[in-house]
Structure 1
Amino acid sequence: MNDIELIRRTIRTVSDWPEPGVQFRDITPLLQDPRTFRVLIDQFVHRYFDARPDAIAGLDARGFIIGSVLAYELNVGFVPIRKKGKLPFTTVAESYELEYGSATVEMHTDAVKAGDRVLLIDDLIATGGTMMAGKRLLEKLGATVIEGAAIVDLPELGGSDRLRASGLALFTLVDFGGH
């Protein structure tokens, strides 16, 4: 079995969570097994080793796990993009629409500087709203998002198409039909 197939098979599908009809793609089994976790991180390290971004920005909360380890491996800084009200310093905010309402993410105003090349990472792309908000936040501060990355893409929800249409290059390891 190749590395991508190992990653795909390790992701757990939880039916009808958080609501009936949803097939939740749970990455926590990837994190629990040291070998599989290393294989996962190595996929991203190998992709970005030569491109060497100035920073990795991780989206709350599972993007923190992958992003901080990747930043460590690449010897670059890590920028957390958090849900509103969780950061203690001066922040910049971006709101976005969810299927049933809206949400806001924030980051510190000194997290990146103009001209920084930043990789934006999360565990999963569904509708693309969170990643798009993260991209806009980074761009408000003058950074360039070199790519959006995730472990899982759920293409039927249209997020990856919307993100690409906005000009964001995307990299994902596996995709799952349905949602």
Structure 2
Amino acid sequence: MTLNDKTYDLKAAIRTIPDYPKPGILFRDITTLLGDARAFRRAIDELVQPWSGAKIDKVAGMEARGFILGGAVAHQLSAGFVPIRKKGKLPHTKVSIAYSLEYGLDEMEIHDDAVVAGERVILVDDLIATGGTATGAVGLLKKIGADVVAACFVIDLPDLGGADKIRALGVPVRTLMSFEGH
């Protein structure tokens, strides 16, 4: 198979680990996709495709797998990369936002000068589930003036409704595959 072969199954490059991190959860592990050169290249190409030739100023990636994917997407789009990190990890002046998790609240941060007001930004991460982290990231980007053009994920877990929460914020969502359940 070649890189351009549309029959190359990205979904087959994802490893599923049952009962992780707790019983009843099917964890979708993208490290196997990242380790497969053809799958990794195709995933990045497909994430980039709708914006190829468009003016995208920055790509924001959420810690940690969003750094890997977002960095590659930013490179392909000739855009800058912006890390969104867990609280306490950034060294410069930052802006933070609290977001909901299924078990409580957490906080994430971005440097206050990471985006110039009005810059066109794409948010990238590996997976969208309940949407708590992603909606927090969209809120954080908007808080510092970003025009959030889209949110892109390799995997969608549609039964958990996260992608719909992002769309409700007026941000288009692109995913490459979906898995039923959680």
- Please classify the TM superposition score into its range, dividing by the shorter chain length: over 0.9
TM normalised by structure 1 equals: 0.96
Q: Tell me which residue corresponds to 1:43.
A: 46
Unpaired segments of 5 or more residues in structure 2? none
Number of the residue aligned with 2:140: 137
The DSSP-based 3-state class of the residue aligned with 2:9 is helix
Equivalences for 1:14-29 in 2 at 5 Å? 14-29=17-32
C-alpha RMSD of matched pairs (Å): 1.3
Deviation at 1:5, TM superposition (A): 5.3
Segments of 4+ moved more than 2 angstroms: 1-5
Alignment check: 8 A CA contact 1:3 1:39 kept: no
In the alignment of these two chains, the number of paired residues is 179
Residue 6 of structure 1 and its aligned partner are, at CA, apart by 1.6
Q: 1:121 maps to which residue?
A: 124
Instruction: Choose the corresponding residue for 2:171, options 165, 168, 171.
Output: 168
Residue 12 of structure 1: which of 7, 11, 15 is its match? Answer: 15
Q: Which runs of 5+ in 1 are unaligned?
A: none
Q: Deviations over 1:35-62 (max 9, x none)?
A: 2111111112222212231100001111
More divergent stretch after superposition (90-99 vs 5-14): 5-14
**Using the alignment, how far apart are the partners of 1:85 and 1:29 within structure 2?**
30
Paired residue type of 1:146: V
- Structure 2 SS opposite 1:102: strand
Equivalent in 148, 151, 154 of residue 154 of structure 2: 151
Q: How does 1:87-98 map to 2 (within 5 A)?
A: 87-98=90-101
User: Do the aligned residues in 1 keep the contact of 2:155 with 2:175 (CA within 8 Å)?
Assistant: yes
Q: So what's the TM-score if we normalise by structure 2?
A: 0.94
**Distance verdict in 2 for CA 1:167–1:34, change over 3 Å:** same
Aligned to 2:77: 74
